[in-house]
Amino acid sequence: MGIASRADPVQPFHAIAISRLARTLEAQGRSIIHMEFGQPSTGAPAAAIARAQAVLASDPGSYWESEALKARIARLYQDRHGLAVDPERIILTCGASPALVLALTAAFRPGDVVACARPGYIAYRNNLAALGMGAQEIACGPESRYQLTAAHLAALDPAPAGVIIASPANPTGTVIAGDELAAIAAVCAARRIRIVSDEIYHGLSFVGPVASALEHAPDALVVNSFSKYFSMVGWRLGWLVAPDDLLYAARARMGNLFLTAPSLSQHAGLVAMDCADELETHVSRYARNRQLMLEALPAMGLTRIAPPDGAFYIWADVRHLTDDVMAFARQLLIDTGVATAPGIDFDPVDGRHFLRFSFAVDTPLVAEAIARLVPWFQARG
């Protein structure tokens, strides 16, 4: 097994090490509750699976981009945001991760600096590092609900080439309010900062509609995915909305780096987009799970959080208990069977004081996790 060099700027997910230990304990017969990864515990909608089965029996598959799916995604922007998005601006990708690579390589060049929030998704800084770009991580604390603000961006000197925003965000689940998003867009327009907006958790909101960056910044690059709201993690299907001036570059990179999105997933994804009733039951379940967690956290002594507006995460400050969250997460898993994500994945500076809980699992498992966690934390309180 290869070992990363200390000088290597691309660092691994530490949550994977926790998950590997969790799988080992499971193989030994332990009861494990997986709250370490941000993935739905549900599968694709039933109608989407049925469509995929029919396609498997009749279509050998090919390098293909579904015009019908691009048109349906464009209608999603009209329905959710009142935006008329040309389907030709939509590039279907093998999940959101390649969409992020397309966005970064189309908009920026090696040596460019791109700002992002700290805490934030680990792949932002790792992708930037792998591509020879610089990540300017901006410390965002509870005063801004761990989100970037227009004031943060206005204060940067010099201005970065770009900024990555996420709303709802990973690991916090917090949302950028519409007026703040408009202010961010205005600062970026004035300072020529290109926006890359990660919107993969759109549809998973507990506070009402969430604005798209496209409502305020028509030249933004928007990344989205079928993995979260549409519950199609393993299907590896996502998309990028590219502005006209970067569309040629983004399409060229898609063709050379990834060819096309999986054809089977495109067929299934088109059907999944019209399964709102089934998908909204998942959102209701996440809302219930969120409420259970928020009610239980005070009993654990975990009171310093930003209540999540969307997604399915709790970002909890545990500095009163540890300054080595990796060891803390390992011990928590060994003692309780509950796997969590260490904060160092999302914040290389202050993350040693934080844990991320994913409440995307089934509600009975959330209740069981709480029953195990409360006495464990109380014994250390």
Q: What is the pLDDT of residues 116-174, one digit of tens each?
A: 999 999 999 999 999 999 999 999 999 999 999 999 999 999 999 999 999 999 999 99
Residue 4: what pLDDT? 43
Residue 6: what pLDDT? 53
Contact (CB, 8 A) for 175 and 142: no
Helix (H) or strand (E) holding 47: helix 46-58
The C-alpha atoms of residue 94 and residue 261 are separated, in whole angstroms, by 5
- Can you give the pTM of this predicted structure? 0.94
What is the number of other CB atoms lying within 10 angstroms of the CB of residue 19?
18
Residue 7: what pLDDT? 67
Residue 151: what pLDDT? 98
The end-to-end CA distance of the chain, in Å, is 39
Q: Between 244-257 and 96-107, two packed helices, what is the crossing angle to 10 degrees?
A: 120
What is the number of other CB atoms lying within 10 angstroms of the CB of residue 80?
15
CATH numbers and ranges of domains, the chain: 14-43+277-380 (3.40.640.10), 61-275 (3.40.640.10)
Residue 1: what pLDDT? 34
Residue 2: what pLDDT? 43
**Ranges of the chain whose pLDDT falls below 50:** 1-5
Residue 378: what pLDDT? 97
Residue 62: what pLDDT? 87
